[in-house]
Amino acid sequence: MSAHPAPTARYPVLEAIFRFVLAARWFVIGIYVLILPAAGYLATRVGQDNSIERLVVTSDPDYAATKAFQEVFGSGENGFLILEADEPLSQPVVAVLDRLERALGEIPDVQPSSALTAFRRTKGGFEPVPEQVAAFRAFVEGSALLRQQGLVGGGFVALPVGMTVRSEQDRDRVLADIEQALVRSGARAFPIEAVRCVGQPYVTTYLGRATRQSGQRGLGLFLALATVLVLLLYRSVRTLAAFGIGLGACIALSVGYVGLTGGQFTIVSPMVPMTVLITATASFVYIHSRFVERPPEVPLGEHHVFAVANKFVAVTASLFAAAVGFAALIVSSIRPIREMGLWVAVGMLVIWLVSFTLFPALQAVLHTPTAQERRTAAPWFSRFVSWVTRFSFRWRWPLVLASLALSAMGLASLVGVPGLLPPAPMYSNPVDYMSRQALEYRDFQRADQLLPGLSVSQVWLKGKLGTVSEPDVLTALNEFQQTLEADPDIGTVAGVPTLLRMMRYIAGDGDAWPTDPDDLDDLAADLEEGARSEPILRHFVDGASLSQTYLAVISKANDQESTERVDARIRNEWARAVAKAPALRAFEMRIVGSSRLQAKIKQNMVPTLVESFVLTVLIIFCAFVVVFRSGTARIMALIPSVFAIAVMFGVMRATGMVLNVATVLVASTILGASENDQIHFFYHFQERRKTGTVEQSLRHALFISGRAILFASVINAGGFLAFAAADLPPIRDFGILACTALVLAALADFTALPASLWILMRARPDDAVTAEALSAAPEPTEV
């Protein structure tokens, strides 16, 4: 069988274009030499930001409300340093706490605040001598307020730390300075048994570090795998050089675009360069595999032009479909997913440009060998094509029915079965994205046991000028706060009433809320004065107008259901409080903060999965309409991808993996990556179907595109599998699931797809058709 199609399949216009490209190969390479350094520089300028605000699109109402809240009360980050000890109020432990608080106070942009801070201000100073330590212990034990706020408890004392950070570098610097303060103060040694460092800045820093490490490790493993496979498949260092330079250009231009537009990477960002590299490698494999199949009688230059032109339509259609499919992710309300879709779509356009300009020029300049100069791997493939063609016919019904059954089971594991199986679980809490072996994760788990909670919702109250300091308002807010604290889902609440009660306790008046009108007037006056001078009061009150304040509701709500329960309880109790205290009618209430954004992310996961997948299917189907004239081909070309994705969800559920901000992308990613195989398969199937039988067309398609499908699938699956070494569970699960789906898609390409063709086209193997024709022929008559 000749590797070339019939002469009628030549492409005069395309061949003229690529003849010009190959003739101007040095000029093409020169252009890339000029632009790649600038692209590489822009790529190095891309930063990392894994804060929760980066996970929600800027047009989201909750995001906009949170940003408006931060403009009033500041956008600093808060952490907790929890010192565990057998006797947390003993003289040695309090001495360490004192040294630590002093060391933290010397760090720019750090504001420590603890029970000792309040006591120090009360006494005008503090020295860790026995008498003052005893007085501090009595101060702590004299009020339940400090324990209720989580500042001290059985076996621990906590030190809240406010941080003013403006960038990732600021955060890293501040946390490094805090760690040095912990060491210098003796907090990392006896009598302190353990120090738990928790809070948003620690989560963000860990995710940023782990994301970079996962990306670098994954890219390194992919490049090593690609190097080995290219050498094994094509057995040429020159071919490896063409692949390497082409891939480098694709990644530099794609990531350079991210830097040019001011983008920043997040937890899902390692998938951007990896998807670009994998898709580029697959495109190069398709083009180069056609190039190496040169018949001995065809001159190299003529064959090179033909090979590139022959793969132009299929590669262009697959990259266009992938680009528009990834662009469909812009429907997502999860910001990193939307950005990833745009960036990968741009990457697909870059791959297309490099595949038909730089890569052919490199093939020509480096004199990459064809099969006539150097035999490639897989000489057994012709025998495999013959076997799989007959195998898919013989077992066509079992193959198709088994594929449908497995697909149905996979989809049921995702959406659930009423009364039998709940839908697949979802994670949106950034702590759940940590490695279970990480020290930071263990700190958060322990802190969750010690503190009233780690999830914070801000109840933002916007009133009129001076309304916050009115006695009736303060009393109503205190009652509202106590009602919330009585809810079992809520650990504690901090706000202006908490601070005013603490001020009364420090003054010796006890920590109970006053009922005497004169005492309430004095409390209101203290608030008006303190709002201008006390930093901690200014943190909770708009000091300029006394028109806005907020309550920080701290709970253990770590999933969407519990967060929604807490939010509902806040709204219901607020409605009751307003009905009971008319003074609160002057305020507009809005729930903002990171916990609200986390719930919004989880709420948007399933719509992102469904909407992006449906849009991707529709867009790829439209691409099939353009490429394929056969309606059967348009539908059946999706079979391997849909089968692989559906079964992959079954694997995800069976192995205990969950939907999160990374794994929710697998379906669209696999559909965009695997449909390349189907486009190339059906392109060559139709190429031969014009003059041949179904069996001849299957053999031709499998022989021409099957080897490239096999090679590309191995490289693609191995590339995503490199993420299995990632520390972050979402990235690791994404890599395992993507690899599984690509293997399943390749398996379906060689089994379920040809089996479906045999059934739908009602065809039989050529020798069976011939035998039937002979048996139906009349017996020869004797002359």
665-683 tens-digit pLDDT = 888 788 777 877 888 888 7
The pLDDT value given to residue 624: 64
The alpha carbon of 109 is separated from its chain's Cα centroid by a whole number of angstroms, namely: 30
pLDDT of 98 > 90? The answer is yes
pLDDT(1) > 80: no
Which pLDDT score, from 0 to 100, does residue 767 have? Answer: 75
Pick the range with the lowest mean pLDDT from 60-74, 135-149, 608-622, 659-673.
608-622
Question: Residue 221: what pLDDT?
Answer: 87
Q: What is the pLDDT of residues 703-760, one digit of tens each?
A: 888 888 888 888 888 888 888 888 888 989 999 999 999 999 999 999 998 998 899 8
Can you tell me whether residue 7 is helix, strand or coil?
Answer: helix
User: Mean pLDDT over all residues of the chain?
Assistant: 87
Is residue 399 within 8 Å of 392, Cβ to Cβ? yes
Q: Any idea which of 41-45, 134-138, 414-418, 703-707 has the lowest mean pLDDT?
A: 703-707
Q: Amino acid letter at 177?
A: D
Q: What is the pLDDT of residue 777?
A: 40
The DSSP-derived string for 390-453 is HHHHHTHHHHHHHHHHHHHHHHHHHH-BTTTBPPPPB---GGGGS-TT-HHHHHHHHHHHHSS-
Res 51 pLDDT > 80: no
Provide the pLDDT confidence category of residue 686 given band limits of 50, 70 and 90.
confident
Q: Check whether 191 has a pLDDT greater than 90.
A: yes
Q: How confident is the model at residue 10 (pLDDT cuts 50, 70, 90)?
A: low
What tokens were used for 201? 């800045």
Is the C-alpha dihedral spanning 661, 666, 668, 673 positive or negative? positive
621 has pLDDT over 90: no
Closest-CA residue to 592 (of 548, 532, 649, 646)? 548
pLDDT for 8 = 38
Question: Pairing between strand 47-48 and 264-265?
Answer: parallel
- Output the pLDDT for position 461: 96
Question: Per-residue confidence at 779, pLDDT binned at 50, 70, 90?
Answer: very low
Distance of CA 782 to the CA centre of its chain: 79
Q: What is the pLDDT of residue 641?
A: 84
pLDDT at position 782 is 35
**Mean pLDDT to the nearest integer, 590-600:** 79
Asked if the model's pLDDT at residue 399 lies above 60, the reply is yes
- 630 or 128: which carries more pLDDT confidence? 128
693: helix, strand or coil? coil
Q: Which of 9-13, 368-372, 599-603 has the lowest mean pLDDT?
A: 599-603
Q: What is the pLDDT of residue 5?
A: 41
Tokens representing 2 are 């000749």
Given a cut of 50, whether residue 773 has pLDDT beyond it is: no
Beta bridge partners of 162: 78, 111
pLDDT, tens digit, 9 for 90 and up, residues 445-477: 999 999 988 888 899 999 999 999 999 999 999
Could you give the CA distance from residue 761 to residue 763 in angstroms, rounded to a whole number?
A: 5
pLDDT digits (tens, 9 = 90+) for 220-261: 888 888 898 888 888 899 999 999 999 999 999 999 999 999
pLDDT for res 24: 96
Burial label for 16, CB within 10 Å (0-12, 13-18, 19+), is exposed
* The token pair that represents 293 in the structure block: 């199949």
Q: Which two tokens stand for residue 711?
A: 């090679």
For the chain, percent of residues with pLDDT exceeding 90: 48
Distance CA(36)–CA(668), nearest Å, equals 30
Phi, psi of 199, deg, nearest 5: 120, 170
d(CA 669, CA 282): 14
Q: Express each pLDDT in 279-321 by its tens digit.
A: 999 899 989 988 998 888 889 999 999 999 989 988 998 888 7
The string of pLDDT tens digits covering residues 269-288 is: 788 898 899 899 989 998 99
> What pLDDT is attached to residue 628?
59
Whether residue 775 is predicted with pLDDT greater than 50 in this model: the reply is no
Mean pLDDT of 20-25: 96
pLDDT tier for residue 375 given thresholds of 50, 70 and 90: low
| Tokens 């990531």 belong to residue | 255
Length of the chain: 783
Given pLDDT bands bounded at 50, 70 and 90, which one contains residue 605? low
pLDDT band (50, 70, 90) for residue 768: low
> How would residue 6 be classed by pLDDT, with cut points 50, 70 and 90?
very low
Please give the share of the chain, as a percent, with pLDDT higher than 70: 91
